[in-house]
Amino acid sequence: MDERKEMCPVCRNLGYVYFEDENGRTYSKPCKCTAVKEARKRLERSGLAKLFKSKTFDSFMTCGNPLLEDAKRTAMQYTESFAERTDSDSNSLLLCGQVGAGKTHLGTACSVRLIDQGIPVIYMGYREEMTALKAKVTDEKAYRDEMNRYKKAAVLFIDDFLKGKITEADINIVYEIVNYRYNNHLPLIISTEKTLDELISFDEAVGSRLIEMCRGHIIVFEGRKLNYRLYRGGVA
Ligand SMILES: [Zn+2]
């Protein structure tokens, strides 16, 4: 992440702000910046900070491919107009299709931009986190806490959504997260190898909600020429 020591203009890094109620009593509450700091800390703990540093818009090479240029433009535009759509019912981003096309890269670049704008993004590596979640199922509190983190995050980036074998338990977890976020207009950033048709046929309730949430920001990678890894050349 960004290593600059940033001074929060609101709380001057105290982490909380004071406010007065109508009776003149003073209270304190956590400053908005604490959620961003928490998101950054979680990223660092997850070992993804390095990935997040390297997968920026600048390092996303389009090599003149119009489809990749369009994908990059759409993703950048998504972050630039993010604030205008906060409470809209289509404030999410879907990156889907072909393996190696740069979906994780663009999803990560968007997350970095949003975190830099002071919007906390929680990263969920689908396969690992689903396994971890299911392992917690016997510990009601730990399970609920983790589910709430994903359900209530200001922005949730699910990377490699629906990767691997999908069980009934997976569908239930995915539905609970997606449905909660859909009902509360909470944005998702999703990268997945599934096509739009596959998303719908996996589970119509989940698929149709996702497509509605991502309206206007659905990036589909298809076609042989799009294999981003082939274009990377010297870029690590
Ligand atoms: Zn602050």
Output the CA 194–ligand 1 centroid distance in Å: 39
Is 3 contained in some domain?
A: no
Output the CA 15–ligand 1 centroid distance in Å: 5
121 pLDDT higher than 70: yes
For residues 205 and 175, is the Cβ–Cβ distance under 8 A? yes
Q: What is the pLDDT of residue 99?
A: 77
Is 6 contained in some domain?
A: no
Is 95 contained in some domain?
A: yes
Residue numbers of the domain that contains 174: 33-231
CB-count burial class (<10 Å; 0-12, 13-18, 19+) for 216: middle
Per-residue pLDDT, averaged over 27-34, amounts to 88
Tally of domains within the chain: 1
82 pLDDT higher than 90: yes
Per-residue pLDDT, averaged over 104-116, amounts to 91
Output the CA 23–ligand 1 centroid distance in Å: 25
236 pLDDT higher than 90: no
Question: In the structure, what pLDDT confidence band is assigned to residue 98 with cuts at 50, 70 and 90?
Answer: confident
Residue with tokens 């396994």: 131
Q: What is the pLDDT of residue 88?
A: 83
Output the CA 39–ligand 1 centroid distance in Å: 14
Output the CA 29–ligand 1 centroid distance in Å: 10
Question: CB within 8 A of 162, min separation 6: which ones?
Answer: 126, 174, 192, 193, 194, 199, 202
Is 149 contained in some domain?
A: yes
Is 14 contained in some domain?
A: no
Is 12 contained in some domain?
A: no
Output the CA 38–ligand 1 centroid distance in Å: 12
56 pLDDT higher than 70: yes
Is 64 contained in some domain?
A: yes
pTM of the model as a whole: 0.83
Number of other residues whose CB lies within 10 A of the CB of residue 151: 17
43 pLDDT higher than 80: no
Give me Rg for the CA atoms of the chain.
19
Output the CA 4–ligand 1 centroid distance in Å: 15
Output the CA 20–ligand 1 centroid distance in Å: 17
Nearest one of 150, 147, 98 to 120, comparing CA atoms: 150
The rounded percent of the chain whose pLDDT value lies above 90 is 55
226 pLDDT higher than 70: no
Q: What is the pLDDT of residues 145-166, one digit of tens each?
A: 999 999 999 999 999 999 999 9
Between residues 51 and 140, which one has the greater pLDDT? 140
CATH (domain of 148): 3.40.50.300
Output the CA 6–ligand 1 centroid distance in Å: 10
Output the CA 37–ligand 1 centroid distance in Å: 9
Is 22 contained in some domain?
A: no
168 pLDDT higher than 80: yes
The rounded percent of the chain whose pLDDT value lies above 70 is 91
233 pLDDT higher than 60: no
Q: What is the pLDDT of residue 136?
A: 93
